[in-house]
Every structure is written in C-alpha cells, then in structure tokens.
Chains A and B, each alone.
Chain A
Amino acid sequence: MEIRFRFGRGEELKFISHLDILRLFERAFKRAGIQVAHSEGFNPRPRIVFAQPMPLGLTSEGEFADVEITGHIDTAGFMQRMNSSLPAGIKVIEARVKTGRSNLMGIIRAAHYRISVKMPDMHDIGYAVSSTLDSSGIYVIKKTKSGGKEVNIRPFIYELSAEKDGDTAVFSVILGAGQENNVRPELFIEGVSKASNTPFSILAMHRVMLYCGKKKAAPGLLPARNIWITPMDDSLL
C-alpha cells in the first residue's frame, strides 16, 4: 500500500542536507518496523519519494513524501510508529492512504514561506512589498550547474505580504516551486532587495506549505475565489 504523509522539520535538524533526510527516513522506517517496498534490479532502493528537497537552514511544517510499504497499516498507527522512531526535530504531522498515481515530485507548483529578515529601521516594509508587486520584472542571477543565468522571478511571486517590528520584518510569500519555476527564498529576498532598494539579511526561513495549484472554493463561501490545494487534496490521492 502507499501512504502520503506530511512532515515538519524544526530548528534542531535544519542543518542537515536533503540526502541526510532521505537516509534518516529510511532508518526511521526500519526502527518503526514498517517495511518499505524496494525497487527491483541491480541496486534495490526503498520506494520513498519526497516532494521537494529542503535547503540547508530551512525549517518547515509543510513537507510531503510518498512511501510504498509491504503489508497493511492504518494511518494513525503509521503516524504513531513513525513519530516514536524519529529523532527530535522531525515529525509526521498527517498521513493518508494514497490510491491514485500522482507523482509527488511532479505535482508541486508553489510553496508558502515565512522569511524573517533584518532591515534598516528607516526603510518601509510596505514600500518593499508594493514595489515588488508593482514591478513588471525582477531579474536576479539563478545559480545553475554551468554558472549563473539571469531570470525574471516576478511571475512566480504569487502572493506577498509582510509585517515589520523594529528592525526585523517577516515576509509571508507564496513562490513558484517544484520542477519548473522554482524560486528559492534567498533568491526572492535578493529580488525584493533589488526592487525596493532595501538591504535585507535573512534571519530565518520557514516553509509553511507546499501547493499543487488552485481549485475553486466550495460554493457558499464568500468571496468566491480559487484556493491553493496541497498534495493531500482528495483529487491528488
């Protein structure tokens, strides 16, 4: 059977790499006594798929993974066994049985981040937000394997707001994510800095949720608008 689960990563573990996270889960499954199905072939790999890698330094409460297990387990038992086998700093938050064929890596479109920054007292955060949203193009250098490439990130800043308290501010932003149009939070801050001519230094980055696109809200809710859906949406399981 296949289970899709959401997990979070706290301060304790934000300095380990994506590869370390993979290994951590493989070992946690073994400790939990949940047998993961393995791929066939010369070098069998456990069938665990993660939605999106987590960069170093990022905390999160919105990570997703699919795991194929041999045998049967109910989702409550799954969560309970996993959470008693995971180290402090990693926690499974919800789990659902998956019956569809959606590929978790392929369906991610956006990510909601909360980014805390330090900025000069006299700069206005409202101006930083409006100048970002009002600009027609924000060009930054995206690191690629072959060096750097200039990209316009403005089309992939979907929603943005911010609050300021003294010399620190917190951005709440939904950015493009997934296999295409992925905008890393650092790159976004660089873009805002450019658009508003404000120096920022990042204090903390937190991923709130990963999204797979939008759907119409249920009728009766006002105002009627499209809402973001997560990989846990019924249509994707």
Chain B
Amino acid sequence: MKVTLDDSLLMNVEKPARYTGGEWNMAVKDPGEADVRFAFCFPDIYEVGMSHLGMKILYHVLNRRDDIYCERVFAPWVDMEKVMREKGIPLFSLETKDPVKEFDIIGFTLQYEMSYTNVLNMLDLAGIPVLSEERNNSHPFVCAGGPCACNPEPLADFIDFFVVGEGEEVILEIIDLYKEWKASGPNRDRREFLGKVSSVQGVYVPSLYKVSYKDDFTVSEIKPCFAGTPGIVRKRIVKNLDDADFPEDIIVPFIGTVHDRIMLELFRGCIRGCRFCQAGFIYRPVREKNPETLYKQAEGSINTTGYEEISLVSLSTSDYSNLKEFTDVLIKLTEQKKVNLSLPSLRVDNFSVDLMKKAQKVRKSGLTFAPEAGTQRLRDVINKGISEEDIVKSAELAFNGGWNSIKLYFIIGLPTETMEDIEGIARLMQKIINVYNEIPKNRRPKGLKLTVSAACFVPKPFTPFQWFGQDTQEMFYEKQDFLRKKLRKVLKSIVFNWHDARLSFLEAVLARGDRRLGKVLFNAWQKGCRFDGWNEHFDYDAWMRAFNEESVDPSFYANRTREFNEKLPWEHIDMGVSKKFLERECIKAYEGKTTENCRARCSNCGINTFAGGICGI
C-alpha cells in the first residue's frame, strides 16, 4: 500500500521534491510484475545520495532485468522524519511510494562511518526490526555494501549480509539465489537463504561467524559457526570495465544535488599507493576503460540526460593512460553539445592548466591542491609522490593561468608528525605567496585567495596505517591552534578550515571497530543520534554517554596503536591486498622510504591474484 503524502504535509517540509520522485529517467515498472523488489537505501538525504555513482550503476544494472524492480530510498531530513513519525507514515520508496517494509531486499550503501546511525534510523522508520536477529520471514533481507563494508563488524548486529567489493555482478547472483529461495514455498527458512548466499564470493553473513575476545578486549578468533561457511570472505571485482554495464540513462533530479552532473568513470583503483588513503588500496587493481568505451558513454549520457556538465571521475584523473587523446576528442563533443567539462582530481601541470582553460567555458575561480603534509619528510612517510617543487610550480602555473584562488588540503595527525611538519604547512604557504608576489602585477590575477583545509587523520582498515593510534583530541586541538597561529603570521587573509576532532575521533572508532560497538551504536541511536556527519545534528555528548553506559572505551579503538601480531577485527575479510604487504608498507613509512607507483614497479601487494586491469598480465 502506497503511502499518501498530502499537500499540507509537503508544503511544510524543506525541499518537498526530495520525497516526490518522478524525475527524468526514473525506472517505471509494474511492481506486481517483478519477482524481486529491491530498495536501494542511501543513509543520507536525497541531494547527497543522488550524487553517488555507485547507486546509479546498481540501479541501472538491477532495473535492466524485467524480473527485478529497484527503487530508491533516502533518509528523510529531520523535519520530514518528525512528520512521518507523528502521522505514522513508514519509510517509502520514491518510485512507487510503497513502504520499504514490503520489499524483498533492502540494500544500504556505506560510504561513510558517520552514516551508520542513519541506517538504524531508516530501518526503524521502515518498521523493520533494527536488530537482524529479531527479523522473521515477514521481513525483507537487509544487506549493505560500499567501502565501509570492508570492516563490517560494527554493523554486524543489524545487517543480514554484507557485500564486499564491487556490487554490479554479485548483486545479480544474490538475487537469483533469493528467487530460488522465495519459490521454495511458504515454510522456507530465512537461515536457509543466508546459508546459501554465504558461499557466494563477496558475501559475508555476520550471524554465521563467531568472534571471541581476549581479556584485553582484542580479538582472539573469528570463526565460522558451520563447516560449510568460508573462513575468509574475498571481495568481488569487475574484471573488465569495458564489458561492464555502465548507466548512460541516469536519473536527472529536479532539485540541485551535490554533484549535479554526468559522472564518467575513467577507471577504478589507483596506481599511487598513498599510505593514508583507504580507497587507494581497497579498489585495487587499477582497471581502465578504453577511450572508445568512454566516448560512447559520454555521448549517450549527454543525449539521454540533457545535463549541462560532465565530469571525469576517478581517484586520480591525471593517471589515466590515454588522458590527452581522450580529452582531445571529448572536448570536441562537449563543445558541440554545449556541455561543460569538469576535471576534478587533476594534478596541476602544463597539460592540465591548458586542458582546464579549454574545457571550461566559465572560468572557475578556484583550484584545489592536495599536498596532504607540510614537509617533504612527512610526504615521503605517507608516500604522497609529490615534491615541494611540484607544488610551488603548480601554484605558479595556476597564477599565470589566471586563477587567483587556491585551496590546499592537508591532514594533521599523520604518523611520525611533529610540530615542525605542522609549521611546514605555513612555510609552504609562504612559498606560494612568494611565487605570487614575484609575478609582475599586470600579469597575475588580482586578489590572491588562499584556503588551507586541515583534516584530522583517521586511520582506516586495509591501509599501512591500520595499526596506528590516532592522535587524541587534545593533540589535534593543540596542532590546529599552532597551525592557525603560524598561518596568521604568514598572511592574515588565509582562510583556515579545520575538521571537528570529536567527529574524526568517532569516525576512527567506527572505522576500526568490532562487534562490541553494535550495542553502542544502538544506544546512541536510541539517544537520538542521526545525521552525525552534519554539524548541526552531531551530538558528541550523547555518543559519549552511550559508550559509558555500554562500558566500552572508545579510545581503545581510536587511539591505541596495535602490534602487527594482533588479530584485527576485519581479518576474515580479504580485500586483495595482503597483511604482509601492508606491514611492509608500514615499516617503510616509519623509515621515510617511498614506494613506486604500480605502473613503475609492482610492489607485490597481493591484488594480482585477482588478475584484472594492469595486474592482469
């Protein structure tokens, strides 16, 4: 039964079009004709969720099949949630407005640890038991995937099964198994399906594993409960992206979204191996698409969406092998179609400045650099393969190219960091200002605008820093303070942004957490925590009360440095990169030694067992 949203309700919430659907290219099907109804849930608001490429891909892959109807569900903003709870309106999908509870499978994407409470809240709004053990045959299966699923343990109590790695192939295998199970009669047992699906590569059913702990709360063992269940869950990848289904007919929202444009995925994975970057490890191996595939997809997307902008998407666009050849032909297309070409995550060099000038009809005033650390020593520690000379040269090119506004991203709290490294950020800024001042006044853009953004380092699983104890909040505050003062001395007008150390602390807890965090998450959610990633709703004190009441020490997860021989809570998950490799990288980091990129030289990370992309030979 479709929910009804009357006018007076919609007129009284912010941006009602978040809840009404009907966008161009939305999948319209008769739900009665579909054997499997899949609710793709994004645990944040519409504008954020609609910017997510993964959802567009899976929506397309699922809806291509006539026997499946995939619909979208987003977290209602707090004003809408209030009305829904008052009026007893359950969480519903945008396509048919049917309650999520009536679906067969509910899939959450986990893009960010701080959206976990929204997962719980959405299940509750849907009228589905939040704890998976309380669900029965009348309830849908609840699954979750996305980057955070590489350490699924904090959500083990709430999710029936996780999908580890890339979803576009495995999701169809799961649905086929589900169809078989559904057809097996009314007395079917939920556990039967979970047992079957647990043997599919890339699927993790947490209830089929037992985790035991030592007296010091570290993990002693993670073991399957039954003989047939695999001891290690290996991620899935799509071997060949040229053959993979990629959506051209993406949904075009009516209201502005965060990334309101066509996203053309150039490749997956990254050759760089920056040691702080989880994406750089979990999305290996590097797999590129052919320029011909990309061109076809660009043209198709432009024609079917009418979008005014297309963006090249990857972890490091400059590393695409055929970038020059491809952009040469792409620019001709975008000019002819009057479409703007946006080029994020591009290294600033002669080629890219030239390209950006050609690509952007409207000059964007700002350029973004990500040196990440202030000194060469620390950049070597994190294996960020750029030198100070590169950065200063890039700034010079930018100023000469007419850009007056540069934003620089740094991370504070990186392993081995000292106050000298922090001061290095200010010194680097001074050098950039000097470069600007050396350019004659008539040849440089007016009004230099520099922004320094300092994130707090959050160590993540499957990186060489997965053992590292995060800086305490006090240390972060001290470093932020120190940096602010140093920057002010360099130039008063530098805009300094910093992350909330309390939020980064919680992110670190959840990122490397284990199953003992389930009860804390549940408790925090019951205290009203949701939209934790949104400043105005982040309630740190409620979280701390939840930890306290459940007798769990958050700093055990965030601030404790682990030994290499400690059993980590995610060790039964295999993301392709070996623990030995990460250990080697960690040791090299502390020695300040860099590692070459994947194209220059293979560092035997272990991913070549997947034999895809550049590791395929």
In the bound complex, residues from chain A placing their C-beta under 8 Å from that of B438 are none
Q: Cα distance A44–B363 when bound, in Å?
A: 11
22 contacts between A and B (CB under 8 A): A13-B254, A15-B11, A15-B17, A15-B20, A16-B254, A16-B255, A17-B255, A20-B254, A20-B255, A26-B308, A27-B307, A27-B308, A28-B306, A30-B302, A30-B306, A30-B308, A31-B303, A31-B306, A42-B363, A56-B16, A57-B11, A87-B23
Nearest A residue (CB) for B5: A15
Assess whether B17 is in contact with A16, with CB atoms less than 8 Å apart: yes
Interface string of B224-254 (1 = CB under 8 A from A): 0000000000000000000000000000101
What separation, in Å, do the CA atoms of A24 and B337 have in the docked complex? 17
- A43 touching B303 by the CB < 8 A rule? no
CB distance from B434 to the nearest CB of A (A): 30
- Chain B residues contacting A17 (CB-CB under 8 Å) are 255
Given contacts A31-B24, A31-B303, A203-B7, 11 further A-B pairs with CB under 8 A are A16-B254, A16-B255, A20-B255, A27-B252, A27-B308, A28-B306, A29-B306, A30-B302, A56-B16, A87-B23, A89-B22
Asked if A43 and B362 sit within 8 Å, CB to CB, the answer is yes
A20 to B306, CA, bound (A): 14
CB-based nearest A residue for B21: A12
> In the complex, A12 Cα to B24 Cα: how many Å?
12
**A85 is an interface residue with CB less than 8 A from chain B:** yes
Q: Does B85 reach chain A (CB closer than 8 Å)?
A: no
The answer, yes or no, to whether B171 is at the interface (CB within 8 Å) is no
Tally of A-B Cβ pairs under 8 angstroms: 62
Most buried by B among A15, A20, A30: A15
From A38, A56, A85, A203, give the contact of B306 (CB < 8 A).
A85
User: Within the assembled complex, what's the spacing in Å between the Cα atoms of A191 and B448?
Assistant: 53
Query: Which residues B1-32 have CB closer than 8 A to chain A?
Result: 7, 10-11, 16-17, 20, 22-24
Contacts of B304 in A (CB 8 A): 31
Asked if A88 lies at the interface with its beta carbon under 8 angstroms from chain B, I say: yes
B332 interfacial contact with A, CB 8 Å: no
Provide the residues of chain B in CB contact with A27, threshold 8 Å: 24, 252, 305-308
Task: Determine the residue in chain A with the shortest Cβ distance to B252.
Answer: A27
Contacts of A89 in B (CB 8 A): 22
**B361 near A: Cβ within 8 Å?**
yes
Minimum C-beta distance from A90 to chain B (A):
10
A residues lining the B interface (CB < 8 Å): 12-13, 15-17, 20, 23-24, 26-31, 35, 38, 42-44, 56-57, 85, 87-89, 203-204
Most A C-beta atoms less than 10 A away, residue of B10, B22, B305, B361: B22
Report Cα–Cα, A56/B17, bound state, in Å. Answer: 10
Cα–Cα, bound, A57→B7 (Å): 8
- Complex alpha-carbon distance, A144 and B22, angstroms: 33
Tell me, in angstroms, the Cα distance from A88 to B20 when the chains sit together.
12
Q: How far, in angstroms, from A167 to B11 measured CA to CA in the complex?
A: 22
Cβ of B65 to closest chain A Cβ, rounded Å? 23
Residues from chain A with Cβ under 8 Å of B307 in the complex: 27, 30
Q: Who on chain A is nearest to B22 by CB? A: A12
Q: Interface majority SS on B: helix, strand, loop or mixed?
A: loop
- Interface size for chain B: under 10, 10 to 19, 20 to 34, or 35 or more residues? 20 to 34
| Residues of the A chain whose Cβ atoms lie less than 8 Å from the Cβ of B580 | none
The answer to whether A26 and B7 have CB atoms under 8 Å apart is no
Chain A residues with Cβ under 8 A from B308's Cβ?
26-27, 30
CA distance A17 to B337 in the complex (A): 26
A150 to chain B, nearest CB (A): 25
User: Is B338 interfacial (CB 8 A cutoff)?
Assistant: yes
* Nearest residue, chain A, Cβ from B11: A57
Contacts of B10 in A (CB 8 A): 15, 57
Q: Are A20 and B17 in contact (CB under 8 A)?
A: yes
Residue of A whose beta carbon sits closest to that of B302: A30
Look across to chain A and name the residue whose beta carbon is closest to the beta carbon of B6: A203
A181 shortest CB reach to chain B, Å: 25
A54 to B306, CA, bound (A): 23
CB distance from B445 to the nearest CB of A (A): 14
Task: Determine whether the beta carbon of A12 is less than 8 Å from that of B20.
Answer: yes
Per the 8 Å Cβ criterion, residues 285-328 of B in contact with A are 302-308
Q: Evaluate contact between A87 and B22: CB separation under 8 angstroms.
A: yes
Q: Are B22 and A30 in contact (CB under 8 A)?
A: no
**How far, in angstroms, from A87 to B363 measured CA to CA in the complex?**
31
Residues of A within 8 A of B305 (CB): 27, 31
CA distance A118 to B255 in the complex (A): 30
Separation in Å of the A89 CB from the closest CB of chain B? Answer: 6
Are B303 and A56 in contact (CB-based, < 8 A)? no
Distance (whole angstroms) from the CB of A199 to the closest CB of chain B:
15
Closest to B16 in A: A15
CB distance from B152 to the nearest CB of A (A): 37
Residues of A within 8 A of B306 (CB): 26-31, 85
Bound state CA distance, A35 and B24, in angstroms? Answer: 19
B255 to chain A, nearest CB (A): 6
> How far apart are the CA atoms of A35 and B337 in the complex, in Å?
9
Chain B residues in 8 Å Cβ range of A29: 306
With both chains docked as a complex, state the minimum distance between the C-beta of A59 and any C-beta of chain B, in angstroms. 10
Decide: B11 and A56 in contact? CB cutoff 8 A. Answer: yes
Most buried by B among A26, A27, A42: A27
Q: Which A residues touch B362, using CB under 8 A?
A: 42-44
- Pair A87/B16 contact, Cβ less than 8 Å: no
